[in-house]
Structure 1
Amino acid sequence: MRISSKKDRGHWLLLSPYLILFIVFIALPVVVAIYLSFTYFNAIEKPKWIGIQNYITLITRDTLFMQKVLPNTIKYALIVGVGGYILSFILAWLVAQLTRIPRTIFALIIYSPSLTAGVTMSVIWRVLFNGDQQGYLNALLLKLGLIDKPVQWLQSPQHLMDIMILVSLWSSMGVGFLAMLAGILNVDEQLYEAAYIDGIKNRLQEIIYVTIPAMKPQMLFGAVMSIVNTFTSAGIGVALSGSNPTPQYAGQLIVNHIEDYGFLRYEMGYAAALSVVLLLIIWFFSRIAWRLFGERY
C-alpha cells in the first residue's frame, strides 16, 4: 500500500503543472463567464445579479444577433469549417502519395499560410482587394474591361463575407492537415492488401473503408481543431475591412459581437452571455465530431 501511495503521489506531482494551468486559464475563466452572464456588469461597478435577463435579451431583443451575426457565423462555419476540413483531408491524401522529399516540400508549402496568415492578410490580401484602381484585382478587371470603375471589395457588404471565406480557406491548412497527413502515412499497408482481397476495387473505396476508419483519432483531432478555429476566428473580417463592426455587419461573427459589447460598449455581462452561447455551440459540434470519429469501447 505504501508503494502504491507513493506512485499515486508521483502521478499527481507530474500532472500538477497541467492541472494548475488548466484550472487557472480554462476552468476558472469559464466558471466566471457563466456567472457574469447572469449579471449586469459594466467593468466599473460591481456585477449586479439579473438572472436570465441577458439570455432573454439575446433571443428576443438583439435582432442584430438573430438576423445578421448568427446567420453569418453559421454560413462561415459551414463553408470554412466543413469545406476546410474536407480540403485538408484531400490535400493530405494527395501529398501522402508522393515520395519523401516532394512530400515534405508540398506539406511545408500547404502548411505555411496558416503560420503567416496575419502578416499576409495585411500585406497581400488587402493589396489584392484594394478599393482603388491600383488594387491588383481592380487593375486586372479594369484592364479586361469587366468593370468600368474600381470596386470597394473590402467595404462592400456584398463581397466582404466571400473574401473572408476565401482567405480563411487559404489559411486553414494548419495542424489538422498535418495530423491527417501523419495518420494517412501510418496506416498499416497490410490493411490495404487485406481489403483488396476482400473485394475493394478502387482508390475511393480504399479511402472510405480502410484509410478513414484506420485514422479516426487524427480525423477527430482535425475536426475539433477545425470547429474551434472556425468559431473563434473573428479577427479576419475586422482586419480586412479595418473596422468593428464590419460594414453593415456583413462580416460580423459571434466573436466580433462579443468584442463589440465587451470592449466597445463595456456591457460585460451581456458579452459573457454571448460567450457562453458560443461555448455551447462549439461543444455541440464537437460532440457531433466525437460521434463520427470517436473510439467506442
Structure 2
Amino acid sequence: MVNNSIQRTSKFRLFLAKEGNAYAFISGYALMFIIFIVVPVLLAVLLSFTLFDTIQFPTFIGLKNYVTLLTQDDIFMKYVLPNTIEFAVIVGPGGYLLSFILAWMLAQLPHLPRTILALILYSPSMTSGVAMSVVWLSIFSGDQNGYLNSLMLNYNFIQEPIQWLQSPQYLMPIMIIVTLWSSMGVGFLAMLAGILEINPEMYEAGALDGISNRFQEIIYITIPSMRPQMLFGAVMAIVSTFQAGAIGVTLSGANPTPQYAGQLIVNHIEDYGFLRYEMGYAAAISVVLLLMVLIFARVANSLFGSRE
C-alpha cells in the first residue's frame, strides 16, 4: 500500500513537472469559460423547465414552455421564426461570401493600400451601434429631412416622405443592408490572413498542372488551403447572425418592432425575459436558439472542417 501510494505521488509529480505549466496557463481561461459560458447555459436549460417570474422561486413545469412555444405562441411561429430564418439565410451566407470576396481582392493589393482598406472595411463592425444611430437613422429618417426621403422628393420619385423604419415593408430589407455593411468583422480578418499565408509557389505549381484562371485558383488552391480560416469565418458569421437582435429595435425604436416585421428570436427573448419577466419561457426560447446555432455550426464544420 505504501509503495503504491509513493508510486502514485511520484507519477503525479512527474505529471506536474511535464504538464503543470500548460495547465496553469489555460486555468484562467478555463475558469472564465466555466463561469461565464458553461454555468449560464446550464442554468438557462434548467430554467427552461420552470415557471419563473424573477420574484417567486422557480416552479418546475416540465416541457410546458416548449409545448407553448411550438403550439400556442402565434407570434413566434408566424413572425419571429420566419423573420429569423429569412434574416439568417440572407445575411449569414451573404456576409460570409462578401467577406471572402473582399478579403481575396485586398490580398491582391500591395501592403499599404491593403492595410488602409482593410481598416476601412473592418471599422463598421467596431462602431456599428454608434454608426447606426448617427448614419443610418439619418439616412432612413421618416421625415422630409431624412437623406433618402430628401433625395427622392427632390427628384420627384415620391410625393411625400416614407416612414422607412416604421413600415413592415421596408424594415427587414433595411436591417439586412445595415447588417451586411457591418459584417466585415474578425471573420473577414481571419480570411484575409489565411489568403496571405498561402505559399505563392502553390499557384505556380497549379499553373503547371493546368489551372488557367483566377476562379480555378480560388476553387482548387485558395479555399482548400485556408479551411481553418473558412471554418472560423463561418462560425463567426453564424453566431453574429443569430445574435443580431438589437438592430431592428435600434432602427425602429421599439420592441416589439412595428407589426413584428423585424422581430427576431433575440428580440423575442428580450420581450419575454426583460419586459414581461417570464424568465422560464425566455430561457426555453434561448435554448431553441442555441440548438439552431449548434446545428448550423455543425453544418459549417462538415463543410470546412479537417478531412484528416
Q: TM-score range by the shorter chain?
A: over 0.9
What is the aligned-residue identity percentage? 64
Aligned length: 297
Paired residue for 1:8?
19
* Aligned pair partner of 1:254 in 258, 262, 265: 265
* Aligned pair partner of 2:29 in 14, 18, 33: 18
Is 1:156 aligned to residue 156 of structure 2? no
Is 1:203 aligned to residue 214 of structure 2? yes
Paired residue for 2:38?
27
* Aligned pair partner of 1:220 in 221, 231, 237: 231
Cα distance in 2 between the residues matched to 1:175 and 1:204: 25
Cα distance in 1 between the residues matched to 2:80 and 2:55: 27
Q: Extract unaligned runs of 5+ from structure 1.
A: none
By how many angstroms is 1:14 displaced?
Answer: 1.9
DSSP-derived class of the 1:16 partner = helix
Paired residue for 1:37?
48
Is 1:173 aligned to residue 184 of structure 2? yes
Structure with bigger gyration radius: 2
By how many angstroms is 1:101 displaced?
Answer: 0.7
Paired residue for 1:70?
81
Is 1:106 aligned to residue 101 of structure 2? no
DSSP-derived class of the 1:43 partner = coil
Paired residue for 2:197?
186
By how many angstroms is 1:243 displaced?
Answer: 0.5
By how many angstroms is 1:296 displaced?
Answer: 2.6
> Displaced runs of 4+ in structure 1, greater than 4 A?
none
DSSP-derived class of the 1:155 partner = coil
Alignment of 1:230-249 (within 5 A): 230-249=241-260
Q: Extract unaligned runs of 5+ from structure 2.
A: 1-10
CA deviations over 1:148-184 (Å, ceiling 9, x no partner): 0000000001000010000000010011111000000
Is 1:125 aligned to residue 136 of structure 2? yes
CA RMSD of superposed structures (Å): 0.8
Give TM-score, length-normalised by structure 2. Answer: 0.95
DSSP-derived class of the 2:219 partner = helix
Is 1:85 aligned to residue 104 of structure 2? no
Cα distance in 2 between the residues matched to 1:24 and 1:218: 28
By how many angstroms is 1:193 displaced?
Answer: 1.2
Cα distance in 2 between the residues matched to 1:171 and 1:135: 21
Cα distance in 2 between the residues matched to 1:35 and 1:105: 48
Cα distance in 2 between the residues matched to 1:5 and 1:174: 39
By how many angstroms is 1:197 displaced?
Answer: 1.1
* Aligned pair partner of 1:284 in 270, 280, 295: 295
CA deviations over 1:87-108 (Å, ceiling 9, x no partner): 0000000011001111111111
Cα distance in 2 between the residues matched to 1:262 and 1:3: 50
* Aligned pair partner of 2:281 in 270, 281, 285: 270
Structure 2 letter corresponding to 1:68: Y
Is 1:229 aligned to residue 240 of structure 2? yes
Give TM-score, length-normalised by structure 1. Answer: 0.98
